[in-house]
Structure 1
Amino acid sequence: MCCLQYYDVRNRCEGSLCYDFSNMEAFLNQKSVGDALGVGSIDFASCSPTVYQAMLVDWTRNLEVGIPALLEDGIKLFVYAGECDLICNWLSNSRWVHSMEWSGQKEFVASPEVPFVVDGSEAGVLKTYGPLGFLKVHDACHMVPMDQPKAALEMLKRWTKGKLSEAADLEKLTAEI
């Protein structure tokens, strides 16, 4: 392909998927990895036509309508987007998260954006309130973990431990002192 890619507006698309997944495929198709994951002899494919066809029924469905009920039940939701992704761009994601109607919408909208810091450097901009969080990841595209692996790992670790905004809260407190 010769054209600007919609996964990363900074680059031209190269290869069938615009990304090189060969290292990931080689790793995930090792027998020891398959055994550890419990998938047996199933080969990993970066883009499975079977999965793609099965998910086409969800392609144009508005799944956001069910999210407010999850938030009301205290289920935590974390949305993130790379700032250089066009197809799932951060601005559109931010807008639907901000406009989503739920009991904490006003507080979420009013909450400050704070730096998401990893290893002493700002890796993104984070906004949280209650069970909802949104992160715009700097210098990242559609595949945030490939573009910013340290930031993606830290983001995942903090979110799964319930400490996504903990570092941001500390920074806010330090700035106020």
Structure 2
Amino acid sequence: QYYDVRKECEGKLCYDFSNLEKFFGDKAVRQAIGVGDIEFVSCSTSVYQAMLTDWMRNLEVGIPALLEDGINVLIYAGEYDLICNWLGNSRWVHSMEWSGQKDFAKTAESSFLVDDAQAGVLKSHGALSFLKVHNAGHMVPMDQPKAALEMLRRFTQGKLKEAVPEEESSTTTFYTAM
């Protein structure tokens, strides 16, 4: 399937969102996040309709200005996602024109380690980071929850770039077949 080349589709969205629906269906949770009696749905038609103006629009054109202003940007992709594949994402990130483009291209990849195991491959220069997450499809947080949480935690704390360069980690790194 197009969200994860390794799996058959499960449900209408190809992932099982039943735990999420149960969690956000709980009245105490809805009250705690301030949404009252609004019903949670995994895929909202009204949200989809409201976002149609962004459908197939090139939003990459706004990213260089963020980078030039020193705003950290993280682009990530699961290595087994077909619809938003890591290689296509890596290529547009590398071809994006900004003042650090050439230095980003020359920067060595690093291991993204979680619990002393390689959870992905990271490339960072200046304010831009690109992370390919191992053993994940389109829904990285559902396929690799621990790695996704670490990615977000480190990114929001400014510690994402604290990784081990590939040359230094090659003896302890395991590789996933692609």
Same fold per TM (> 0.5)? yes
Show structure 1 runs of 5+ residues with no match.
none
Indicate the structure whose relative CO is greater, using CA pairs within 8 Å and at least 6 residues apart: 2
User: Of residues 51, 59, 62 in structure 2, which corresponds to 1:63?
Assistant: 59
3-state SS of paired residue (2:80): coil
3-state SS of paired residue (1:28): helix
Is 1:152 equivalent to 2:145 in the alignment?
no
Whole-Å separation in 2 of the counterparts to 1:32 and 1:20: 22
3-state SS of paired residue (1:123): strand
Aligned AA for 1:10?
R
Aligned AA for 1:35?
Q
1:87 corresponds to: 83
2:23 corresponds to: 27
Aligned AA for 1:175?
E
User: Of residues 66, 72, 78 in structure 1, which corresponds to 2:68?
Assistant: 72
3-state SS of paired residue (1:122): strand
Deviation at 1:43, TM superposition (A): 1.3
Displacement over 6 Å in runs of 4+: none
3-state SS of paired residue (1:80): strand
Deviation at 1:12, TM superposition (A): 1.5
User: Of residues 105, 123, 127 in structure 2, which corresponds to 1:131?
Assistant: 127
2:95 corresponds to: 99
Aligned AA for 1:43?
E
Whole-Å separation in 2 of the counterparts to 1:142 and 1:39: 27
Whole-Å separation in 1 of the counterparts to 2:128 and 2:32: 33
User: Of residues 107, 115, 131 in structure 1, which corresponds to 2:111?
Assistant: 115
Deviation at 1:35, TM superposition (A): 1.6
Deviation at 1:175, TM superposition (A): 3.1
RMSD: 1.6
Is 1:141 equivalent to 2:137 in the alignment?
yes
Give aligned-pair identity as a percent: 70
TM-score of the two chains, using structure 1 as the length reference: 0.91
Whole-Å separation in 2 of the counterparts to 1:98 and 1:53: 31
Whole-Å separation in 1 of the counterparts to 2:72 and 2:40: 29
Deviation at 1:14, TM superposition (A): 2.6
2:168 corresponds to: 175
3-state SS of paired residue (2:121): strand
